[in-house]
Chain A
Amino acid sequence: MIPLLILSPLILLAALGAVWKARPVHAALLLALALALNAVLYLVIGADFIGLVQFMVYVGAVAVLIVFSLLITRPGDEAEEISRRPRSLLPGLVCTVPVLAVLICSISRVTTPSAGEAPAFSVEQLGKALFTTHAPAVVTVGVLLTAVMIGAALFARDPGKKPQTPSDP
């Protein structure tokens, strides 16, 4: 309980900082911090696998992706600060309020398990569950990700140009 009480305010602070910071890179790094602290939270409550995967995926991949796209898309105007005035208040509310509603609704429906022994868990069980009962979902996600990758490669390719050979002196 005590680690939870220490960690949750820190996560909240980092997340708020990610929203409020003016410079995009600061916001991205604070977001990475919030996600990393989340991973620590998972580790503290005994969900080792989820915690490590959270760290690898969100800090190692998602945060790096955000940072990298920031650098590539806006190389010149790093100093430009995002306006603090919410210019897009209405679209923002349209996006966030339903998500919040769904989250609150689903959280309120969850029955809290009795505080006692943590359920036994192993990576083996998780793998078996993923590839037997949840196999259609796994395959669907795989197909979706492959399609996204191919699509991204198609978008990134300059249609008029052949792949250049690195032979020019």
Chain B
Amino acid sequence: MSLLATTPFLPMKLEFLPRLPQMLVEVIFHRLGAPEWLVSIAGFIVAASTVVGVFMGGFALLSLVERKTLARIQNRIGPNRAGWFGILQPVADGIKMLTKEDIVPAKAEWLLHLAAPILIVIPSILALGVIPYGREWTPVPLELGLLFFFSVGALTELSVFMAGWASGSKFPMLGAMRAISQMVSYELPLIISALGVVMVSGTLSLPVIVDKQAGFHLGFIPAWNLFTPWGLVAGLVFYIAAIAEANRCPFDLPEGESEIVAGHMTEYSGFKYALFFMGEYLGLFAISGLGITLFLGGWQAPLPGLGFVPSWIWFFAKLAVVIMSFLWIRGTFPRVRIDQLMRFAWLCLIPMALLTLPAAAIWHFAGRGLLGWVTTVPLLLIPWVIITVIYNRRLSPSTRIYRFADS
């Protein structure tokens, strides 16, 4: 609190804005004469509520922005009846979801059927807790933050399976099978591509990883992990694998509406269905946040001289850019097939992700300068060209021949 009062400039005070609720509650509890452990527990609860509140708001906003953006890509107007510019659409959606009937199929296992949507939201919220959003704002600064993120994410696969199996129906089962095989395959490149950052930073703590990306090359290129040879490859692999982990188009086979209705969510209605959506969007926020932390410099400003802007604004600006790119991809790419999906993961992404590890090691020991560039660029570029050539020659879909429609 004293820090807040003595810092001179307004932007410096804005830096603490997201922590204001926590500080206020701690001060009030102190004034009331509460014991120390109660103060810290109350502070933690308020800090967690701040994160959940911010991302619930983000979820509501994103559901509207996504529908509007997709509509514009498809030359439609999109939701425009609820409020000005459709701004109240999330509220209308929420009321609709909450008042719908909750249907449990007769053949479903009610306990697992109930537990699945709850278990799918928990890991996303837990994962959001360890990400550093600003210089002064890391809700839970864990020393093993990265490991924690991937550990809690492991629960998602099992809960998707529970949802698919407990529904006692064919489409959910198919969707769950697809989801598990996809998530297991794409979790490998996701984790391996994050390992390079751990090797170079020498830590698993996410705030420290962000700190190590401070500064600028040549005065204007930010020293983010993305702007290194191994970081560029690992970042791209991470980006693609993150889209697949979030089950978003073009990797949305588990819920492909036109094939298997909604996959594991087919037999859900009302609030449970909304929970699935919430888990999916919160997971999207979490994995984008992790990607920004690992490769895009976290809350660091993109240009020198912009450090006066509160750092969490930079984080959320980057988050908005990344999420908009996801929306753009969803609006433009067709869904891939399951064999293409698997082949892409095992033949392209995993070899490239594995190659970033020796490249990161060389980069670390070659002094991160010109020598590093000279040695790691060929190491990554040559296999990439080979993989691309083989993939395009032998495995990519050839031009479709229409036997009967051509005339």
Chain A interface: which size bin?
A: 20 to 34
Say yes or no: is B162 at the interface (Cβ < 8 Å to chain A). Answer: yes
Q: Which of A3-18 contact B (CB under 8 A)?
A: none
Q: A123-B204, A166-B337, A169-B401 are in contact. Are A64 and B184 (CB under 8 A)?
A: yes
Cα(A36)–Cα(B112), bound, Å: 16
Contact A68/B144 with A60-B155, A123-B204 known, Cβ cut-off 8 Å: no
Query: Which residue in chain B gives the minimum CB-CB distance to A64?
Result: B157
Q: Report yes or no: A68 in contact with B400, Cβ–Cβ below 8 A.
A: no
Does chain A have a CB within 8 A of B397? yes
Q: How near does chain A come to B243, taking the closest CB pair, in angstroms? A: 20
Report B-chain residues with C-beta under 8 Å of the C-beta of A59. Answer: 154-155, 158
Q: Are A60's CB and B397's CB within 8 A?
A: no
Number of B interface residues in the complex (CB < 8 A): 35
Query: Of residues B165, B177, B337, which shows the largest number of chain A Cβ atoms within 10 Å of its Cβ?
Result: B165
Docked Cα-Cα span, A59 to B156, in Å, equals: 10
Residue of A49, A60, A63, A68 with most chain B CB atoms under a 10 A cut-off: A60
Q: Which of A49, A55, A124 contacts B154 (CB 8 A)?
A: A55
Contact B147 A49 (CB under 8 A): yes
When A49-B147, A56-B154, A60-B154 are in contact, do A166 and B397 touch as well, CB less than 8 Å?
yes
Known contacts A25-B165, A64-B157, A64-B184; is A166 also within 8 Å of B339 by CB?
Answer: yes
Known: A25-B165, A67-B158. A167 touches B177 (CB 8 A): no
A3 to chain B, nearest CB (A): 16
Q: Mark each residue of chain A from 94 to 111: 1 if its CB lies under 8 Å from any CB of chain B, else 0.
A: 000000000000000000
Q: Which of A51-77 contact B (CB under 8 A)?
A: 52-53, 55-56, 59-61, 63-64, 67-68, 71
Q: Are A48 and B162 in contact (CB under 8 A)?
A: no
> A37 an interface residue at 8 Å Cβ cutoff?
no
Partner among A49, A68, A123, A167 whose Cβ is within 8 Å of the Cβ of B180: A68
Q: Which residues of A contact B395 (CB under 8 A)?
A: 165-166
A167 to B184, CA, bound (A): 26
State whether the Cβ of B161 lies closer than 8 Å to any Cβ in chain A. yes
Hey, which bits of chain A sit against chain B, CB under 8 A? 25, 29, 32, 48-49, 52-53, 55-56, 59-61, 63-64, 67-68, 71, 123-124, 164-167, 169
Interfacial residues, chain B to chain A (CB-CB below 8 A): 112, 143-144, 147-148, 150-155, 157-158, 161-162, 165, 173, 177, 180-181, 184, 187, 202, 204, 337, 339-340, 394-395, 397-398, 400-403
Given contact pairs A29-B158, A49-B147, A59-B158, a sample of 8 additional A-B residue pairs in the complex whose CB atoms are under 8 Å apart = A56-B147, A60-B187, A61-B184, A68-B177, A71-B177, A165-B394, A165-B395, A167-B398
12 residue pairs A–B, Cβ–Cβ below 8 Å: A25-B165, A29-B162, A48-B144, A55-B151, A56-B147, A60-B153, A60-B155, A68-B177, A68-B184, A166-B339, A166-B395, A167-B398
